[in-house]
Structure 1
Amino acid sequence: MAPERIMFIRHAEKPTASEGIGIEADGKADDESLAVRGWQRAGALARFFCPIHETHSARLTPATVFAPGNGPASKSKRAMQTVAPLVALLQETSQVNYVTAHLKDDGQALMRDVLAQPGVVLIAWEHKVLPSLIGHVPGAPAVPATWPEDRFDMVWILDRVPGGWSFSQLPQLLLAGDIAGPIS
């Protein structure tokens, strides 16, 4: 078994001077959680990846979702919070495999697990690590070397093709200020 498509997103907006404090789902302040705008993106991503119109869902709706678990090197909850609304929506309508067993810097083991999954896979991870994850995919195409600090609005997609993978970028265009242009 191997996935036909692997999608990569960065966790949603984090606390900064411009985005404000991080908050948990219950509203409690927490520096390791999403900012309010991040929670807005997380909610919008649920319908982005699980659209109401069935014709769009076949290539976007994941059968498996990965987010890093918490560990000594990272206490961040942001990636898990980013996919929480999507996972909840998918659990209402279908089976979804939700995996948080890998830590943020465990790229090789993560990608070994990803490559064993069928169908469409979504990975929500820290932006600094995303390009290196793709390097663990045999036959992976070239991708941008870095994911910019200020881009929360893009989906990187690897599609299986004969002899390897193709790479494309899909702008989310979910919130005001999202950019349609690719990451270069």
Structure 2
Amino acid sequence: MRGWQRAGALTQFFRSGDAAQREKMTPGCIFAAGSGPGSKSNRSMQTVAPLVRQLQESAHIKYSSSYLKDDGEALMHEVLAETGVILIAWEHKILPSLIGLLPNAPTVPSAWPEHRFDMVWIVEREGEGWRFSQHPQLLLAGDSAEPIK
């Protein structure tokens, strides 16, 4: 139940604020881990489904769930070919290693805690490398503003 509540609330999270904030946060491309052999979960796709539906009603966006959770190298190859704001919804345990696949990857926490679903990691191109930051969602009761360490 809480996962569905968060999925619905994320539509506003990625589309709220003034025009400059919306431009910085609204994705034009969304990747969610697909399901298949060895990767049975639909959770990543379910998390972004309300946002994808809303964005598709108002603008053209690219949405892909063709990569399984362990297809990190292929996923990141396609991500690097994209421009603009890209949202990746993936199994939280794998996110640090996905970011590690970037050339000149930024330092990120080595593990995503099992109980945290209230944080967005932001990786922005900066010169030859990347800048990493964390943005708390603060969407549901009990969400924390504390960054993941």
**TM-score normalised by the chain length of structure 2:** 0.97
Q: What is the aligned partner in structure 2 of residue 21 from structure 1? A: none
| Superimposed CA distance per residue, residues 90-145 of structure 1 (whole angstroms, 9 cap, x where no aligned partner) | 01111110011100011100100111111010000001111000011001111000
Count the aligned residue pairs.
149
The answer as to 2:60 corresponding to 1:95 is yes
Q: CA RMSD in A?
A: 0.9
Identity of aligned residues (%): 62
Q: What is the aligned partner in structure 2 of residue 159 from structure 1? A: 124
Gap runs ≥5 in structure 2: none
Q: Post-superposition shift, 1:52?
A: 6.3
Q: What is the aligned partner in structure 2 of residue 15 from structure 1? A: none
- Alpha-carbon distance between aligned partners in 2 of 1:69 and 1:104, rounded to the nearest angstrom: 7
Please show how residues 15-94 of structure 1 align to structure 2 within 5 Å.
Answer: 36-51=1-16, 53-94=18-59
Q: 2:92 aligns with which of 108, 123, 127?
A: 127
Compared CA separation, residues 140 and 180, structure 1 to 2 (3 A): same
Which structure has the highest helix share of the two? 2
**TM-score normalised by the chain length of structure 1:** 0.79
Q: What is the aligned partner in structure 1 of residue 104 from structure 2? A: 139
Secondary structure class of the residue paired with 1:167: strand
Gap runs ≥5 in structure 1: 1-35
- Alpha-carbon distance between aligned partners in 1 of 2:49 and 2:34, rounded to the nearest angstrom: 13
- Alpha-carbon distance between aligned partners in 1 of 2:138 and 2:120, rounded to the nearest angstrom: 10
The higher relative CO (CA closer than 8 Å, separation ≥ 6) is in 1
